[in-house]
Chain A
């Protein structure tokens, strides 16, 4: 193997690839070739670095220089200045927003300082399409250890002792799940990796599969050994083409190296993995629905018990775990259950990956120890709210979760504290909202999602959510009254209590938590028919103030529906019956004469 002096790591995650990071990689490689440096420096396309806000990212090793928002045109300068002359390209370095100082080493950046990367340990370090790089970072060492030194019962005990809980949202103890499947007697058992990441705004599972697919394969093999399964299935979204490609390459390489297939590592253990594709149904994240989908059926959930550990795929005992859960497994075996359980809080051990998005400065993927507060996540790692606006709420747990507000900022984040605050961990999406967001509209937005994604099997979810959505629609159109609010509360209770699966049982959460935390906003919508943030179009009016208006006619010319009339050099007016509230006039007016009432 060639030994390189310098490595240039280019982010090949979906976000950076969308900003031409593969062109950057090609240009860097070409520049190195031209300068005759191809034997000295290597360009590697890695998985996601997490700092998507400042992508595309290029990192130079061994000096750890972190270049942000790189364009293909910058490739030449990076090679000529940094690689040849040893001078950093200052203009591409990250600038700390408060101190305005340039920071070259990512370890000192606010975004990375508080992070602890276990599940994401290899993302942004290795070439995910090269098994040797993964092995150099200890991939498959845990599998070797388990197969060589432990019985299935002993290995399962380590997962139990680590305190690891399911990262897909439920938070069920992983070791216990393994034990339950192991206890069943059957001629065939299955382990399944749930990579049907349907929660909008959460993209950790895809990043792990894109950046470090071998960790998932290794963990599934360990899972197979512990539970007595010889077959693994990865159920992955068809919408994730890059993750699928990299997983396929990784599976092929693992087979070549004898890490999958018959008699793995000569220890007499057989294990194979197949891929199954999802086809766009949020409910398939629920394990019974997922299993039906893998069997070629509509992805409708069924009542538990029987649990999949007893009767799952093809009616055989099946263990289903999420991608991020699996990514923790090899490290637990290498560093020990004690090491792992020392991280986090009393009942939530280890770290959690969150996808930070919305009105926040540093959008990206982060991993922090359980127990980190929301304030640390939003202000220190996330860099605070965009455009210096005021923080209003953060939504966790996606369409099943709730909104947390200012008063929750110092709550340590773990499974139980989030539930106590009326939200939940979910898969780890965190959407930050500022003063311009209307909480009633937000609740309506999530409900639209649920209505669309409800599988229709049980009435409370299929019909109840639709009725709930209609009530919210009335309120945002200014046709609601206090009576509607009461109906909403009742309906929420019924849907939660009587729905068949987790989707329906949690779908009212965004509504209930916004009602609890932003009751005044709901009241303003129904009593005064006002939406303070201006998000509900039907509740606002654009009005031209006659005094500052100079009659320049700019607004009348830009209005797409001809709703603005007035004499040249005289004050203009808006005909409210025609106005479609597009806001084009406000943007055009140079005299600040148009306001929203």
Chain B
């Protein structure tokens, strides 16, 4: 976990405590609480995990163990317009890797990183079930289908303003 402590917004912390209470502070509900917490904060930094551990009366290590186990949870803040390239099998055989390489090259980040200006984060995901449109790229909630490496610049240009 990070050594530099970040200061959480008190209002958001209160909201998080309310979420825990709405699940009766049951340790069983940890995953549901984490989903809600990620909706509130956008990610799950160590400080958020500490609050949850306290509320549900479990060890922070346990919370950390669950957060790091599931790929849906992230401890790194996502970009303003997070980019996810589908690398499921259908997209892979239709050239998703080349599309991913082009995003890496243009944004100058690796998978799992965010651009220094906080605009885009780059990640891979496994199958959104739109295999008919392979290869598929998601920017935020918007789905781009049949993306070619040449089309990458065009997609990024949409977020240039």
Contact = CB atoms under 8 A, between A and B. Distances in A.
Interface of A: 14-15, 18-19, 52-53, 55, 198-203, 206-207, 238-240, 276-282, 293, 295-299, 355, 357-359, 363-364, 395, 398, 429, 431, 433, 437, 445-446, 449, 455
Contact of B90 (A277, A293, A363): A363
A53 B146 CA distance: 11
Interface in B39-94: 65-66, 69-73, 87-90, 92-94
Interface in B119-145: 125-134, 136, 143, 145
Nearest to A445: B92
A436 to B, nearest CB: 9
Contacts of B143: 18
A355 to B, nearest CB: 7
Given A18-B145, A52-B131, A239-B125, A437 B66 contact: no
B72 A19 contact: no
A565 B73 CA distance: 48
Interface stretch (B3-11, B14-22, B26-34, B151-159): B26-34
Nearest to B67: A279
Contact of B89 (A14, A200, A277, A280): A200
A363 B131 contact: yes
B35 interface: yes
Contacts of B34: 279
A239 B70 CA distance: 12
Contact of B31 (A240, A277, A433, A437): A277
Nearest to A52: B132
A299 B70 contact: yes
A298 B127 contact: no
Contacts of B88: 200-201
Given A357-B89, A358-B90, A449-B126, A18 B73 contact: no
A279 B65 CA distance: 13
Interface residues of B, number: 36
Contact of A295 (B28, B94, B127, B129): B28
Contacts of A296: 26-32, 66
A445 B90 CA distance: 12
Contact of B133 (A19, A199, A433): A19
Contacts of A15: 129-133
A433 B90 CA distance: 10
Given A297-B66, A355-B131, A359-B94, 8 more contacts: A15-B129, A19-B133, A200-B87, A200-B88, A201-B127, A276-B31, A297-B30, A357-B134
Interface string B79-113: 00000000111101110000000000000000000
B65 to A, nearest CB: 6
Given A19-B133, A296-B29, A433 B93 contact: yes
Nearest to B129: A203
Given A203-B129, A357-B131, A363-B131, A280 B70 contact: yes
Contacts of B145: 18-19
12 contacts: A15-B132, A18-B145, A203-B129, A279-B31, A295-B28, A296-B32, A297-B30, A297-B66, A299-B70, A355-B131, A398-B89, A449-B126
A283 to B, nearest CB: 9
A437 B35 CA distance: 38
A492 to B, nearest CB: 20
A297 B29 CA distance: 9
Cβ-closest 4 pairs across A and B: A52-B132, A200-B88, A203-B129, A279-B70
B22 to A, nearest CB: 14
Contacts of B90: 200-201, 357-358, 363, 431
A453 to B, nearest CB: 8
Nearest to A587: B150
A282 B136 CA distance: 20
A282 B70 CA distance: 9
A239 B126 CA distance: 10
A445 B126 CA distance: 12
A280 B66 CA distance: 11
A281 B70 contact: yes
B122 to A, nearest CB: 16
Contact of A279 (B35, B125, B128): B35
Residue picked from A357, A364, A429, A455, most chain B C-beta under 10 Å: A357
B82 to A, nearest CB: 14
B72 A279 contact: yes
A180 to B, nearest CB: 25
A457 to B, nearest CB: 11
A200 B31 contact: no
